Amino acid sequence: MCSRFFFLLAERVHMTVYPFNKTHKLIFCLIVTAVFISLQSCDKSEKVDSISYQAHSLSEPKAVTIARELVQACGGLDNWHDTRFLTWRYLGKRLNVWDKQTGRYRSESRGSIVLMNLNDMQGKAELNGDELTGDALNRALKYGYDAWASDTYWIFLPFKLFDHGVILRHIGESAMEDNEMADILSVTFDSVGATPGNKYHIYVSRKSKLLVKWDYFENANDVNPGFSSPWKDYRSFGNILLSADRGLKKHSDIAVAKKMPDSVFESFEPVDWNRLTLN
């Protein structure tokens, strides 16, 4: 719409000034130049995410701005929303398969397979080939949900900064190992999530706008973090950017797919991931 407006404006100006002298033609050239500069600026504004960045009322404006730049650097909320099927092996161990649109989820770890829907906590599970029932099934489903809740933060944290109940605050800045400056944001939770008492400090590069390090605190009041690790090895998967490297360990088998058979979320049968998950 913006492009159409400026095109018609330039056409009208051309029809008006063309028959006149060199001075008029010079004015016309200047107007056209201004039109194209405005057109480029307008086109850029049209690329801003249509999904709004809803921040918690206790979040600080500066922190919200930095967090939004981080999300944009990783692909933006629109592309995150449009990404449907995701697979990743948490630190090379537990395999996760997530259908973001329906909440279907598959977890494979140490002989156990959990197939469930995260929205209603319903599903089934097996351990070493035996299907679980009763209390054992309930424990397995809770394990599956907790695994998903934890593992998503380890890889999709930038896209979760605007989830319901997330509080963002700017707490300082830091020079990183390469002397690159980073803003430090505090990430806490307003009684939401599987572990609402946790806290994160995330370091956002002023140059790349990417998350380059995080500190984890088991309790929001803790002075010293339980651990710190880098966020490195960013790569494109579909239309989003994800980091696999956490220092001593890495995520593996990261992939994005537009389609996936229902059997992945319904059957305990082994899956040939190389055929199903295409970046």
pLDDT at residue 276, as a whole number: 67
> Are residues 40 and 123 part of one domain?
no
If one counts every other C-beta atom within 10 angstroms of the C-beta of residue 274, the result is 9
- In-domain check, residue 52: no
pLDDT at residue 12, as a whole number: 42
Position 273 confidence tier, pLDDT thresholds 50, 70, 90? confident
Nearest 5°: the CA angle 52, 56, 57 is 115
- In-domain check, residue 54: no
Mean pLDDT of the chain: 85
> Are residues 17 and 127 part of one domain?
no
> Are residues 34 and 69 part of one domain?
no
pLDDT 10s digits, 100-125: 999 999 999 999 999 999 999 999 99
> Are residues 203 and 116 part of one domain?
yes
> Are residues 132 and 177 part of one domain?
yes
- In-domain check, residue 55: no
Coil vs helix vs strand at 124 = strand
State how many domains the chain has.
Answer: 2
Considering only residues 140 and 279, tell me which one the structure prediction assigns the higher pLDDT.
140
- In-domain check, residue 51: no
- In-domain check, residue 56: no
> Are residues 77 and 134 part of one domain?
yes
pLDDT 10s digits, 169-213: 999 999 998 888 999 999 999 988 778 889 999 999 999 999 999
Position 22 confidence tier, pLDDT thresholds 50, 70, 90? low
pLDDT 10s digits, 51-84: 888 899 999 999 999 999 999 999 999 999 999 9
> Are residues 133 and 175 part of one domain?
yes
> Are residues 70 and 20 part of one domain?
no
- In-domain check, residue 94: yes
> Are residues 99 and 32 part of one domain?
no
Instruction: Determine what percent of the chain is predicted with pLDDT higher than 70.
Output: 81
> Are residues 235 and 139 part of one domain?
yes
Q: List Cα–Cα distances, 8 to 4, 30, 38, 82, 264, in angstroms.
A: 6, 16, 14, 34, 53
> Are residues 107 and 28 part of one domain?
no
> Are residues 126 and 23 part of one domain?
no
Position 258 confidence tier, pLDDT thresholds 50, 70, 90? very high
> Distance between CA 152 and CA 122 in Å, rounded?
20
- In-domain check, residue 50: no
- The lowest-confidence range among 22-26, 164-168, 243-247 is 22-26
Q: List Cα–Cα distances, 216 to 90, 169, 186, in angstroms.
A: 17, 15, 10
Q: What is the span of the domain harbouring residue 14? A: 2-45
Q: What's the CATH code of the domain at 119?
A: 2.50.20
